[in-house]
Structure 1
Amino acid sequence: MSDPSALYDEADKLKASGDLEGAAAKLTEALAADEDYSLAHAALAVVLQKRGMHEEAIAHARRVTEIEPNDPFSYTALSVTYQRAYAGTNDHSYIGLAEEAMDRSRQIEAGQ
């Protein structure tokens, strides 16, 4: 079995060099080794978003909130993913979802 952390590191290098497709492949491989590796889901959301694959990016950002439901940053990142999906598609439904995710982040920070 492959080491998810090592695959994540390889993906990070590929992303930095501009190889988004290669980075996505490595992150997918990392998730095959550990489907609950939240850092890989978060990174894959970013990579997919940059490739214009908004729905797939959102699915991974949502998965992070499922794995780490008490982490306000997870919801902030989900909000940003929705905002970028709106910017890439002009689909106004993403705005409300972005606001909901940000509200959840604030609730967690406030201890609610």
Structure 2
Amino acid sequence: MPTPNELYDQAVDLRDKGDKPGAIAILEEAVAADPAFVIGHGMLAKLYADVAEIDEAIAHAKKVVELEPEDTFSYTALSVIYQRCGKIPEAEHAKAIAYNKQMGFE
């Protein structure tokens, strides 16, 4: 059985060849094997947004924030996913959290 990192590499290859659904399937295997595989959740958020599966994109972006709550970039990425999914108030909220963390307010 491939490791989550090996699955991630396979998914990157598929994505680069234009097979986003294939990449998603492989990454879902990776995060099933390791639910804390942050980079897998991050790429899933982006890929699901690319294929307009909004609920899945947001769920994976939120998982990244859950796993790395002190990482400013996690909130910035969540903001971008919300924005791409048309959820502007949520995007602005996540952006504000990122800013506050970066400035040391939180």
Give yes or no for TM over 0.5.
Answer: yes
Name the residue aligned to 1:90. none
| Identical positions, percent | 46
Query: 1:103 aligns to what SS in structure 2?
Result: helix
What is the root-mean-square deviation in Å for CA atoms of aligned residues? 0.8
Query: Matches of residues 33-72 of structure 1 in structure 2 within 5 Å?
Result: 33-72=33-72
Write the deviation string for residues 26-71 of structure 1: whole angstroms up to 9, x where unpaired. 1001001100111000000111111110111000000000000000
TM-score, length basis structure 1: 0.91
TM-score, length basis structure 2: 0.96
Q: Distance in 1 between matches of 2:82 and 2:32?
A: 25
Name the count of aligned residue pairs: 105
Confirm or deny: 8 A CA contact 1:2 1:33 kept in the other structure. Answer: no
Q: 2:77 is aligned with what amino acid?
A: A
Alpha-carbon distance, 1:2 to partner:
2.9
What 5-or-longer segments of structure 2 have no aligned partner?
none
Alpha-carbon distance, 1:107 to partner:
1.0
